[in-house]
Amino acid sequence: MAETVRIPVSGGEMAAYVARPAATRAPAIVVLQEIFGVNAVMRDITDGLAAQGFLAICPDLFWRIEPGVDITDRTEAEWKKAFALMNAFDASQGVKDIAATLDHIRADPGCNGRAGAVGFCLGGQLAWLTATRTDADAAVSYYGVGIEGLIGESRTLRKPVMLHIAEADGFVPPAAQAAIREGLADQPLAIIHTYPGRDHAFARLGGEHYHAADAALAGQRTLDFLRLNLGAA
């Protein structure tokens, strides 16, 4: 069952897409969007997590710039708009909105009190910041952009985080990947999986770089990690 809720945040209210599992009470997952907004891809991921037994919620993190962004990766105009939105986005404020989302979903009668996050692309960076700046119980980052410049935040990491890195990621070059691996080498709470030959967004169904086998592998690793750290779903 899916619905739209509104979350009180500083400066107003933020819409969020919620998908509920069959179970009466379940661990929650905050789904953190790519640069295309809360589009069909993000809603499908949210629905998929609910089908796996999680209470899933995808907040409209671009709401302070333009509420209700729902675009695709199919046209040059949409890519141009997506990059403009990303460049205008305040990640620190976004993390505060994510923290509000965690509070909101934990207070939901359908939540068992534990909550994590899964993010993709821009959301992958936000998943890292969620792990280091909020009280999320676990976080998963898919091909997060810009994490190499935020590795110093690992000193505040208190809960486990998993990073999926695409070896041939055009937005996360080899030097950035090396910086991430080196910076987290002594951090036991950080788990890194690298996918040889894969490019950015290899898990985006229907995307140019989608790779079914590695998307399934990353998906299973994510589910196992979340179930381990949030409890059975």
12-62 confidence digits (pLDDT tens): 999 999 999 999 999 999 999 999 999 999 999 999 999 999 999 999 999
pLDDT for the residue numbered 2: 84
pLDDT at 1 over 90: no
Catalytic residue (choose from 97, 137, 169, 214): 169
pLDDT tens string 125-137: 999 999 999 999 9
pLDDT at 232 over 80: no
pLDDT over 90 percentage in the chain:
98
Q: What is the dihedral of CA 230, 40, 60, 223, to 10 degrees?
A: 10
Q: What is the mean pLDDT of residues 157-180?
A: 97
Which residues are CB-contacts of 141 (< 8 A; sequence separation ≥ 6)? 119, 124, 125, 127, 128, 131, 147, 161, 162, 163, 164
pLDDT for the residue numbered 14: 98
Residue type, 16: A
pLDDT at 215 over 80: yes
Confidence of residue 114 (pLDDT cuts 50, 70, 90): very high
Confidence of residue 233 (pLDDT cuts 50, 70, 90): low
pLDDT for the residue numbered 231: 87
- Which tokens belong to 171? 């937005």
Catalytic residue (choose from 104, 137, 199, 200): 200
Q: In what order do the strands lie in the sheet with 111-120?
A: 2-9, 12-19, 55-59, 26-32, 111-120, 139-142, 161-166, 190-195
Residue type, 95: V
Compute the half-sphere exposure of residue 118: CA atoms within 13 Å on the CB side of its CA. 27
Residue type, 163: L
Cα separation, 209 vs 199, whole angstroms: 6
Is 47 labeled as catalytic in the residue annotation? no
- Beta strand extents in the chain (DSSP E only): 2-9, 12-19, 26-32, 55-59, 111-120, 139-142, 161-166, 190-195
Q: pTM for this one?
A: 0.97
Q: What is the dihedral of CA 146, 149, 150, 152, to 10 degrees?
A: 160
Is 169 labeled as catalytic in the residue annotation? yes
For all residues of the chain together, what is the average pLDDT?
Answer: 97
Please name the fold of domain 2-230: Rossmann fold (3.40.50)
Q: What is the mean pLDDT of residues 82-109?
A: 98
